[in-house]
Chains A and B, each alone.
Chain A
Amino acid sequence: MKYWRAPYDINEVKIAHGQVHIIKDRCKGCEFCIEYCPTDVLELSDEFNAKGYHIPYIKNEENCTNCGLCEMLCPEFAIWSTLKKGRKAKVAGLVLGKQE
């Protein structure tokens, strides 16, 4: 994600880590979560589920910030994210601060 200017609190805000859960057999392959994930965590896999749909797989789990957009957009109640415990939250400035 690119900002047009650095936010003032970039050195205070901590980016949470999320973990994505997918119920594969409930998915109907509409790809809403893949398209609208703001941090591009998901990608369409070649794998089929029991119903014959292509399902998303978790490509970059470390990018997930537990924003919950996939859960809200999913029409099938098949994907959601939870806060990952045991991983220290990084300050936003360290992750995003290298942008000009």
Chain B
Amino acid sequence: MAKKKKEIHPMESLLRMDRIPHIWCPGCGIGTAVTAFTSALEKLKADLNKVCVISGIGCTGRVAGYVKLDSFHTTHGRPIAFATGIKLGDPELKVVVFSGDGDIIAIGGNHFMHAARRNIDMTVICVNNFIYAMTGGQVAPTTPLTAYTTTSPYGNVEVPSNIPQLAEACGAVYVARWTALHIRRLTNAIVEAMQKPGFSVVEVISSCPQYYSRINKLGDGLDMMKFYHDNSVIRHNEPTENLDIDYQKQIIVGKFIDRERPTYMDSYKKWLEEVKHQIPKSPKIQNT
């Protein structure tokens, strides 16, 4: 029998195929978010040597290992801190932070706030699955009230954080939220966020069939996708204080913030011009 020609998926040029199949569970939405990101790169026709992906620890933190770009897998909660350094080291690069809610909002919450405050030119894709999935389903700062997790066996009592509101308050210039089902809109949002100079945040609501859905008896990944289909409402420019996610209630998605602010590099260069005359010239080193 003649050997069948090996079929190649169109995304394979952007993925490290020696690591695929990936570790994500059946029905997980992170793979879909990666597809949205890779198709956004294709849509942008971006120079792939000038794109850098940084991830922290967690399920979503594995993304840096799967995309065939210059990527960086850092310590827990610190991808934005590393991304800030990379952006300052080479301002030509398009820096994308692709990580989860536990990584960016919980442990790296401080870095998130300060990168948004400085308006460093980077794109943050935050996959929100409402839980610390990789470590066994502990309660996260995004877990909705009354949801069960392994560390809240009688329901969660902590008020969850609202990622778009946090981003807006800290000074992000672009904030959008989509679910893993709104795949074309998510792709367009990532394209817009990557083109926007400044700190842009795209929140991706994703299913976690193994830890979040199982303990709350919400079915598998497909049931969660059906839930997003029935319960997500598109409202662009919605005030971000209305964007709290309640347990199994409607999810407001859309593009909420799109504004202009000088980025950190612009302000820095402008300020440097102003104070240049105050900087003492470095003394010449004498060769003896």
**A residues at B contact (CB < 8 Å):** 21, 23, 26, 28-32, 35-36, 53, 69, 71-78, 80
Q: In the complex, which range does the number of interface residues on chain B fall in? A: 20 to 34
Roughly how many angstroms separate A71 CA and B38 CA in the complex, as a whole number? Answer: 12
Say whether A80 contacts B32, CB under 8 Å: no
Closest approach, in angstroms, between the C-beta of B57 and any C-beta of chain A? 20
Is residue B7 within 8 Å, beta carbon to beta carbon, of the partner chain? yes
Is residue B35 within 8 Å, beta carbon to beta carbon, of the partner chain? yes
Q: Who on chain A is nearest to B229 by CB?
A: A36
Say whether A78 contacts B26, CB under 8 Å: no
Task: Determine which of A29, A30, A53, A72 lies in contact with B183 in the assembled complex, contact meaning CB atoms within 8 Å.
Answer: A72
Say whether A32 contacts B225, CB under 8 Å: yes
Roughly how many angstroms separate A29 CA and B20 CA in the complex, as a whole number? Answer: 16
Interface-lining segment among B10-18, B154-162, B273-281: B10-18
Complex contacts, A69 vs chain B, CB 8 Å:
183
Roughly how many angstroms separate A36 CA and B226 CA in the complex, as a whole number? Answer: 10
Say whether A72 contacts B36, CB under 8 Å: yes
10 A/B residue pairs, CB under 8 Å, sorted by A? A21-B7, A26-B20, A71-B10, A72-B35, A72-B36, A72-B184, A75-B24, A75-B27, A77-B12, A77-B20
Q: Who on chain A is nearest to B25 by CB?
A: A28
Most buried by A among B7, B12, B30, B187: B7
Complex contacts, A76 vs chain B, CB 8 Å:
21-22, 31
Say whether B225 contacts A75, CB under 8 Å: no
Complex contacts, B34 vs chain A, CB 8 Å:
75
Say whether A23 contacts B39, CB under 8 Å: no
Closest approach, in angstroms, between the C-beta of A9 and any C-beta of chain B? 21
Contact flag A26-B21 (CB < 8 Å), given A72-B32, A73-B183: yes
Complex contacts, B31 vs chain A, CB 8 Å:
74-77
Is residue B222 within 8 Å, beta carbon to beta carbon, of the partner chain? yes
Is residue B269 within 8 Å, beta carbon to beta carbon, of the partner chain? no
Roughly how many angstroms separate A19 CA and B222 CA in the complex, as a whole number? Answer: 24
Task: Determine which of A30, A36, A80 lies in contact with B9 in the assembled complex, contact meaning CB atoms within 8 Å.
Answer: A80
Complex contacts, B25 vs chain A, CB 8 Å:
28
Closest approach, in angstroms, between the C-beta of B39 and any C-beta of chain A? 7
Is residue B29 within 8 Å, beta carbon to beta carbon, of the partner chain? yes
Say whether B222 contacts A77, CB under 8 Å: no
Chain A proximity mask over B212-248: 1 for CB below 8 Å, otherwise 0: 0000000011100110000000000000000000000
Say whether B29 contacts A75, CB under 8 Å: yes
Q: Who on chain B is nearest to A25 by CB?
A: B21
